[in-house]
Chain A
């Protein structure tokens, strides 16, 4: 373990803002990549079942 306390871990040797914003943005972008297709898939299946494309 590289850090001796949680406080030290959060501080990231003074680079907290840089390290945590990098990881935060990455987590947000990846979550969006998981959620968007799942929601789109569900909505599309519902539209097909409701015969919205049967004109």
Chain B
């Protein structure tokens, strides 16, 4: 019973005209809380919470750096899940998700690396070191760029999607490596601050804006990916009748 209801929803959501119709309001439903949460988190992080006792005001970079790093991992993991669905069930919407999420995830990975370098200069005295955390995060950026260039290089959309799905699934092995790199290896990068089982190593008033910012950017990731999916979907279906009918009816 529950399963058949789920499967019905699953198939309906996989229907491209249906997805195109609901994805616009859905994208706004992601954008609105996303922008509000990020505004709250960054305002508090930049102006309200006290400066760090060791790092002074430079620590405020954390409110952009940690959410970016979180989404670099979340983004690739979601692409790997979609890749699995695309490979096993050949669901078109999952293929479209992978290619729409890739540039958004790559952007957050780029931001994690750049804000980390900018933060590292005054705190560590260097922009970059080849330690485990930084190197594995750089590999993640190359994985994202690999998915994007595979998609651009292969002419047939189905074949391109399968190649991207495969790379997404295989590449996800890098995600736990990044996460645990600070524990497995001796790195310059500090250990986990937020995701600790005992207690976060951060004062609550500094932590809450960080969590708000991370959650907000997650919503924004959803918003941007949904919008990219709409464009990808339209491109793939550009010759189909429902697209033409829909676009001519809009006038």
Determine whether B208 belongs to the interface, using a CB cutoff of 8 Å to chain A: no
CA of A18 to CA of B124, assembled, Å: 13
With a cutoff of 8 Å between Cβ atoms, the chain A residues found around residue B248 in the complex are 49
Given A26-B68, A41-B231, A48-B244, check contact A33 B122 (CB 8 Å): no
With a cutoff of 8 Å between Cβ atoms, the chain B residues found around residue A47 in the complex are 238
Is B231's CB under 8 angstroms from A29's CB?
no
Interface size on B, residues (CB 8 A): 40
CA of A3 to CA of B49, assembled, Å: 9
A-B pairs with beta carbons under 8 A, tally: 91
Residue in B61, B110, B238, B239 whose beta carbon sits within 8 Å of that of A18 in the complex? B61
Is B57's CB under 8 angstroms from A15's CB?
yes
Q: Name B28-62 residues within 8 Å CB distance of A.
A: 42, 46-51, 56-58, 60-61
With a cutoff of 8 Å between Cβ atoms, the chain A residues found around residue B107 in the complex are 29-30, 32-33
Determine whether B133 belongs to the interface, using a CB cutoff of 8 Å to chain A: no
With a cutoff of 8 Å between Cβ atoms, the chain B residues found around residue A13 in the complex are 51, 56-58
Q: How close is A44's CB to chain B, nearest CB, in angstroms? A: 5
Is B224's CB under 8 angstroms from A37's CB?
yes
Chain B: CB-nearest residue to A49: B247
Chain B: CB-nearest residue to A44: B234
Chain B: CB-nearest residue to A27: B64
Q: Name B164-212 residues within 8 Å CB distance of A.
A: none
Q: How close is A10's CB to chain B, nearest CB, in angstroms? A: 11
Residue in A19, A25, A30, A44 whose beta carbon sits within 8 Å of that of B58 in the complex? A19
With a cutoff of 8 Å between Cβ atoms, the chain A residues found around residue B68 in the complex are 26
Which A residues form the contact surface with B (CB < 8 A)? 1-3, 9, 12-15, 18-19, 21-23, 25-26, 29-30, 32-34, 37-38, 40-41, 44-45, 47-49, 53-54
Which B residues form the contact surface with A (CB < 8 A)? 42, 46-51, 56-58, 60-61, 64-65, 68, 103-104, 107, 110-111, 114-115, 118-119, 121-122, 220, 224, 227-228, 230-231, 234-235, 238-239, 243-244, 247-248
Known A-B contacts: A22-B64, A37-B224, A48-B234. Give 19 more (CB < 8 A). Answer: A1-B47, A1-B48, A2-B48, A3-B47, A12-B60, A13-B56, A13-B57, A13-B58, A14-B57, A18-B119, A18-B122, A22-B115, A22-B118, A29-B111, A33-B224, A37-B227, A47-B238, A48-B243, A54-B239
